[in-house]
Amino acid sequence: KKTAVLYARYSSDMQKATSIDGQLLLCRKVALRNNLDVIGEFVDAAKSGLTEGARDGYQRLLNGVRNQEFDVVVVEHFDRLSRDPATIQRLKQVFEFNGVELMDQKGVYATATDISIASLYNTIYKPQLAEKVRRGHDNAVANGRIPGSYAYGYRPRAGAPGERVIDENEAKIVLRIFTEYVAGRSTRTIAADLTREGVPSPGSTRHKNKAGRTTWNHQCITGGRYGRGIIGNDLYIGEIHWNVRSTILNPETQKKQKRRNPEERHIIVKKPELRIVPQELWDRAQKVRSARAVSMFGPTGKPRRRAVIPRNNEHPLAGVLRCGVCNGHMRIAQSSRNGAPRAACASAHQRGTCEHTHSFDMDVLLEDASDKIQVKLLSPKAIEEAMRAWKEERKNDRNKGSEHAKLERRRGVLTTEIERLSYAIANSRRKPDELLKRIDECDLERESIEARLRLLGGGGENVIGFDRPKFSDRYLSEVRRLITALKTNPKAIETRVAFRNLIECIVVHPVPKRMPYEYTPYLNSSALCGKNLFPENRSKEREISTFAYYDNGKSG
């Protein structure tokens, strides 16, 4: 009986985004039908931006192929391995060289030629399909119907697909945004006001799962480079503008980009009954917008386009930084003069709900932090501490899952409470003393919960058992390896994985301009408890049958 492994990948930009469970189920059926003995599965719940090199499950699969640990690889469709015909053909040659078969629901791909014919068919057929869909949409627009989602201010008309009616409540908000914008208010303050008043945001009215979410940001008002926000939506003056832009995929970064279509492809249809904004108000708003763009970006009114850097040299600190004021995430907000990314609090930068507006050079922070972490981790006290945490961890391993969930719920409750109180203080004339006291209490409790959560680590990871002297050896060697890697090759994938395994988060505190950065790194205690920091190379052991790798799948 032949042995087989399954491979599944989910990424949001795939046309048929079958869930990973669905893919695996299908693979198992194929394996059963072909009388294969399934000994393992590999999964990448990867971000769509990652290339083959950054997909852990894929790399492990490839190692298995090279070591000839199984006879067949089963996938739902070969494009799960790669969507690029050149890559898939090279891959098939590697399979062939090692005598491993590639199978999907259509059967075995016997030769590299088979697979290139199949992928050729894909590259020819898919654009044709897209073209058909596009023509259908153009047709609908020409008849005054609008394919796709509906804009803020409108509802779909029941029983008439593609038709819209004005939603009176949302229309009032649209008018208010235009009026305030023309009066000279900044989009950030308009957005912050709407959030504070609890006005449902565009996303929350369209998606059931986001109901009640009321965070507005400035981008939904003016949009980005293409001005696709509320201020620029021609539907508010009763015109449907269709086919103005199209989305293309950058083959280097796998990121989607917008391009403006040539004029002759634009379709404009008038629907006066959908007008919300009077012409005069609209014209004034457009004037304000172009004046602001010119004063911001120079005579063209457009930001300079920078070269897009491929995503696989993502910064090790990305996703690690937290705001010291609101405890929210920090995001890359701008870049330093030398091109290094700068991080700022996402709430402050995007929504105006946090006052921590200063940004931090991520390269400077990383260099400083790796020195500090080195001192911190290699001191005898730290080793002792790690050992203690490791013992504690093993003791608590069994009951920690439920405690983790309970703490997390409580933390959520406290966060909501604190937000509620902050709004109350901002909007009432009463003396805030009592409210402030209550906030302090909540904050204190939340802090202790967070400390406990950090100690518990990520949940139910298994701990590799080994004895005392071995533990400190392993610990020291892993830490030294990480420090060296951070200095010599900070952007390599392994370094990033190891760094994030070790560092739970870094809380960045507000400091005045040009002062040294202040921050507190929090270590992931489960990383101190004997888990390998660097991704393992399992080529020697044949333990593949018990093994399934799940990428953390942050963006599904």
Footprint of Zn ion (CB under 5 A): 323, 325-326, 345, 347, 354, 356
Q: How far is the CB of 343 from Zn ion (least distance, A)?
A: 11
Which C-beta is closer to Zn ion: that of 25 or that of 325?
325
Closest to Zn ion by CB, 325 vs 435, is: 325
For Zn ion, which is the closer residue by CB, 250 or 357? Answer: 357
Query: Torsion over CA of 183, 188, 189 and 191, rounded to 10 degrees?
Result: 100
Dist. CA 364–CA 341, nearest whole Å: 10
Of 38, 48, 32, nearest to 7 by C-alpha is 38
| Amino acid of residue 14 | M
- Report the run of H or E that residue 343 belongs to, with start and end: strand 341-345
Spell out where 429-496 has E strands. none
**Smallest distance, Å, CB 477 to Zn ion?**
37
> Minimal distance in Å, beta carbon 355 to Zn ion?
8
E strands, 32-191, in order: 37-44, 72-75, 101-104, 107-109, 154-156, 164-166
Judged by DSSP in three states, 399 sits in: coil
DSSP at 106: T
Measured CA to CA, the distance from residue 22 to residue 27 in angstroms comes to 9
For tokens 């109901």, what's the residue? 211
Cβ 203 to Zn ion, closest distance in Å?
21
Element (H, E) at 509: strand 503-509
Our CB check for Zn ion shows the closer of 252 and 518 to be 518
Closest approach of Zn ion to the CB of residue 121, in Å: 51
Quick one: 329 or 454, whose CB is closer to Zn ion? 329
Q: Residue 193: exposed, middle, or buried by beta-carbon count in 10 A (0-12, 13-18, 19+)?
A: middle
Q: Which is nearer to Zn ion, 238 or 328 (CB)?
A: 328
Please, what's the b/e burial string for 325-348 (b: 16 or more CB within 10 A of its CB; e: otherwise)? Answer: bbbbebbbbeeeeeeebbbbbbbb
Measured from the CB atom, the residue of 288 and 332 that comes closer to Zn ion is 332
- At its nearest, how many Å lie between Zn ion and the CB of residue 344? 9
Nearer to Zn ion (CB atom), residue 38 or residue 191: 191
- CB nearer Zn ion, residue 62 or residue 414: 414
CB of residue 424 to Zn ion, shortest distance in Å: 19
Could you give the CA distance from residue 493 to residue 387 in angstroms, rounded to a whole number? 28
Report the Cα–Cα distance between both ends of the chain, in Å, rounded: 35
Q: How far is the CB of 352 from Zn ion (least distance, A)?
A: 11
**Nearest distance in Å: CB 197, Zn ion:** 20
When the beta carbons of 254 and 347 are compared against Zn ion, the nearer one is 347
Least distance in Å: CB of 329 to Zn ion?
9
To the nearest whole angstrom, how small is the minimum distance from the Cβ of residue 440 to Zn ion?
A: 18
Closer by beta carbon to Zn ion, 151 or else 354: 354
Residues 216, 220, 225, 231: is their CA dihedral positive or negative? negative
Burial class for 135, CB neighbours closer than 10 Å (0-12, 13-18, 19+): exposed
Identify which of residues 326 and 421 has a Cβ nearer to Zn ion in the complex. 326
CB of 419 to Zn ion, least distance (A): 12
Quote the least distance from Cβ 509 to Zn ion, whole Å.
11
In whole angstroms, what is the distance from residue 546 CA to residue 69 CA? 13
Our CB check for Zn ion shows the closer of 423 and 547 to be 423
Q: How far is the CB of 354 from Zn ion (least distance, A)?
A: 3
Non-local CB neighbours of 348 within 8 Å, separated by 6+ positions: 323, 325, 326, 354, 355, 356, 357
Query: In angstroms, rounded to a whole number, what is the distance separating the alpha carbons of residues 161 and 138?
Result: 15
Residue 462: CB partners within 8 Å, gap ≥ 6?
none
Which residue's CB is nearer to Zn ion, number 18 or number 214? 214
Instruction: Please give the C-alpha separations between residue 244 and each of 226, 282, 547, in angstroms, as whole numbers.
Output: 10, 20, 49
The secondary element (H helix, E strand) that includes residue 180 is helix 168-182
Burial class (CB in 10 A: 0-12, 13-18, 19+), 264: exposed
